[in-house]
Amino acid sequence: MKMLTLIFFILLTSSTHISATELVFSSGNNKLTGHYLNNLNPDPPKGVILFVHGDGDLSYDAEGYYSIIWDQLRKHGYSIFSWDKSGVGHSSGHWLSQSMQDRQLEVISAIELIQKKYGFTPENTGLLGFSQAGWVVPKLAGSSKRIGFAIGIGFTQNWIDQGRYYTRIKHERRGDSEQQIQAAIEQYNDEIASFNSSPMYSKQFAKNGMSRERFAFVLRNYQSDAADDYQKISIPMLLLWGENDLNVDAGKEFIRWTKNPNKNVTIKLIANATHVLLKSEYFDGQHISFYQWLKLNWLQQDALAPEFLPVLLDWLDIHVNSDR
């Protein structure tokens, strides 16, 4: 009974918490449904921040996670735009049919819509991307003249390396022996080798838990590497990683940036934080389980690592609202 009461409370508060304007835009053959949220103070917006999803079938608010971040950004003077991924909610198509280039074009279409409708300029238009958006946002931060700043959370340079790290951590957390872990990594390496010869979908991939649609998605994108894009970033950009990230080798990524800096990029490793900068003592998995989703919606901003929002808001004050 207590669980049902909690779920009812969360659904009630989440459905009444956000007042947004629904907007529809096109990208390629897809119609995407998004939501625009104005800033929460009487002054004109300082800017608009477009949220760019990571992996998975995510709704515009990432099932409530984004709204925790939006509250503080909106109070700080920023408007928000985010949309249901292709094939989610009222958005057409399917996100597994997309390449990273498709996703980049989708973001550009969203930017054009918001700038035309609300009068934002490139200087006060920014992106905030998560995880897989690390092969979307950096490209635009170096090649697009439509944005003035960008933020990345849990980005990694190389798709294949990230998959290998994820595989190791997954099996370590299962309690597998080192021999079993090495066998799993060898299987992963074999899959990558087979992708290099452009394979057809087979029972082996199905046996390993990969659907035909996921197989096509990975085959389309597994060679993604952001190294060149990183060096071409030409606008202020903030990169954040959680110290206890179980999906991305955050320490390695942070060190890589200290050795290969870009003067436009600020980097920060957030203490006691997960892949998406939640408190790692409360959220200790590679995915958010239903129980953790309940916890997230119950804790709200207290679910976030303490450093996260102060670091983000301070950086915005310095790099977006100063004369550059």
pLDDT digits (tens, 9 = 90+) for 231-270: 999 999 999 999 999 999 999 999 999 999 999 999 999 9
Q: What is the pLDDT of residue 315?
A: 98
Task: Look at residues 198, 220, 242 and tell me which one is the last residue of a structural domain.
Answer: 220
Same domain? 184 vs 142: no
Same domain? 42 vs 145: yes
Residue 11 forms part of a structural domain: no
Same domain? 109 vs 146: yes
Residue 262 forms part of a structural domain: yes
Number of structural domains the chain divides into: 2
Residue 35 forms part of a structural domain: yes
- Sign of dihedral through CA atoms 243, 230, 94, 216? negative
Residue 5 forms part of a structural domain: no
Q: What is the pLDDT of residue 91?
A: 98
Residue 2 CB neighbour total at 10 angstroms: 6
Residue 135 forms part of a structural domain: yes
Cα 102 from Cα 140, distance rounded (Å): 12
Q: What is the pLDDT of residue 18?
A: 59
Could you tell me the residue range of the domain that residue 181 belongs to? 161-220
Picking from 74, 24, 83, the residue whose alpha carbon sits closest to that of residue 50 is: 83
Residue 110 forms part of a structural domain: yes
Task: Look at residues 179, 198, 220 and tell me which one is the last residue of a structural domain.
Answer: 220
97 φ, ψ to 5°? Answer: -90, 0
Among all chains, which residue has been given the structure tokens 């389980």? 289
Asked if the model's pLDDT at residue 5 lies above 90, the reply is no
What percentage of residues in the chain have a pLDDT greater than 90? 84
Q: What is the pLDDT of residue 321?
A: 64
pLDDT digits (tens, 9 = 90+) for 184-226: 999 999 999 989 887 888 887 888 888 999 999 999 999 999 9
Residue 2 forms part of a structural domain: no
Cα 312 from Cα 316, distance rounded (Å): 6
Task: Look at residues 197, 220, 243 and tell me which one is the last residue of a structural domain.
Answer: 220
Residue 91 CB neighbour total at 10 angstroms: 23
- Mean pLDDT computed over every residue of the chain: 92
Q: CA–CA distance from 85 to each of 15, 127, 214, 261 (Å)?
A: 19, 16, 15, 32
Residue 98 forms part of a structural domain: yes
Q: What is the CATH number for 317?
A: 3.40.50.1820
Supply angle C-alpha 147, 148, 152, rounded to 5. 85
Picking from 32, 189, 41, the residue whose alpha carbon sits closest to that of residue 107 is: 32
